Amino acid sequence: MIKIYKDAALSTEDIMSRDTETFDASAIVKEIIENVCKNGDKALFEYCEKFDGGAPDSLLVSAEEVDAAFEQIPAELLDAMTKARDNIRAFHEKQVRNGFIISEKDGVVLGQKITPIEKVGLYVPGGTASYPSTVLMDAIPAKIAGCGEIVITTPAKNGVVSPAILAAAKIAGVDKIYKIGGAGAVAALAYGTQTVGKVDKIVGPGNVFVAEAKRQVFGIVGIDMIAGPSEILIIADGKANPRFVAADMLSQAEHDKLATAVLVTDSAELAEKVSEELEKQIPELPRAEIARASIDNHGKIIVRENLDTVIETANEIAPEHLEVCVDAPFDLLPKIKNAGSVFLGRNCPEALGDYFAGPNHTLPTSGTARFSSPLSVDDFIKKSSFIYYTKDALGKVADKIDCFAKHEGLHAHAKSATIRFEEEPAK
């Protein structure tokens, strides 16, 4: 049963603790990466055999496999994915950045240039469940950014990739799909193998091994973030429907036994009713065992004295998903400082953002919403500054550069500016 914390007995540790189990995967992942670097495709086939129930004939998904999968998908699912794609595209197109140029007088031009990342790899989970929604959320911003090549790696059970993932990849315009998962897939994307091309950046969620692999290859390639278990925090007042609140908490709890579902409320009565509802709804879920472990071990209900302290608590936790279940949610929005994605009102379940609304569902976890942001078009571009000075323009500031550089003890820096105004030495 979920733990309820009353305001009077609430400590900072109670508020902040995610009770996340720790598992040090670093040594295992290091060995996998070294094996892939040394043995390439041979190592990947071995990991497919070991972890996915059988090695595929080829690591690369063929165009025929994609087309066949597309034909298998129910029409209503294709329609849902296509409309979701349109919503995701419409939202992310608003994020497109343009470069700029500042032309100053006297021969000075400054600017910023936007360049898409050339090759990106998208990791799509396929362990306890497959997630075609992740394909859309990760591939569409990359496509909008203008990346030259977009590839997917995803586990293939018994050598077969989920048809829904293949269909989503086709809808999103992915260039290549590889039948590999786990830390081995991350290593292949970072270092390349005989079949898998090396990329410049890896994005997408995964289990503890995927997260650790991304950590270890960072610097060789870029990464989006180190994602932890899924989280939801719900702000709710006494008028909230406990059935809805419990259902929304379970929408994250069913993801993973390590997922965290939290309710923060100013109503002790609602807290008790939601606890009762969780006990009613958990047994009805197909993934009841996972949801039960999540709720019992990592879930919590926190009762605070008023909505102001409720929001303070939410900002301290900095959740991945934040629902605001009150009558006037836009009144509270300016007070929310730390959250990956915010769901406003009583009719905005987190699943709306996971699948359909348009904002990205690849979000910062484990409190990192204090300093990081959802996946966006920005994750697939680079910004380069540029500077142009005429000789006359440089001459007007050379003494300032000389002064600054010599103050820092960097005389060659100073000389590089002033030498252009010295007479040429006699030959």
What are the catalytic residues? 320-321
Question: Which run of H or E residues covers position 389?
Answer: strand 381-389
Three-state secondary structure call for residue 32: helix
Three-state secondary structure call for residue 93: helix
Work out the number of other CB atoms within 10 angstroms of the CB of residue 306. Answer: 11
Dihedral of the CA atoms 38, 61, 121, 33 (nearest 10)?
-20
Angstrom CA distances, 237 to 164, 240, 251, 352, stand at: 39, 6, 20, 21
User: H helices within 59-131, ranges in order?
Assistant: 63-72, 75-93
Quote the distance between the C-alpha of residue 254 and its chain's center.
19
Phi/psi of residue 346, nearest 5 degrees = -85, -5
Query: Do the Cβ atoms of 225 and 368 come closer than 8 Å?
Result: yes
Query: Do the Cβ atoms of 20 and 366 come closer than 8 Å?
Result: yes
Instruction: Quote the CA–CA distance of 343 and 325 in Å, as a whole number.
Output: 8
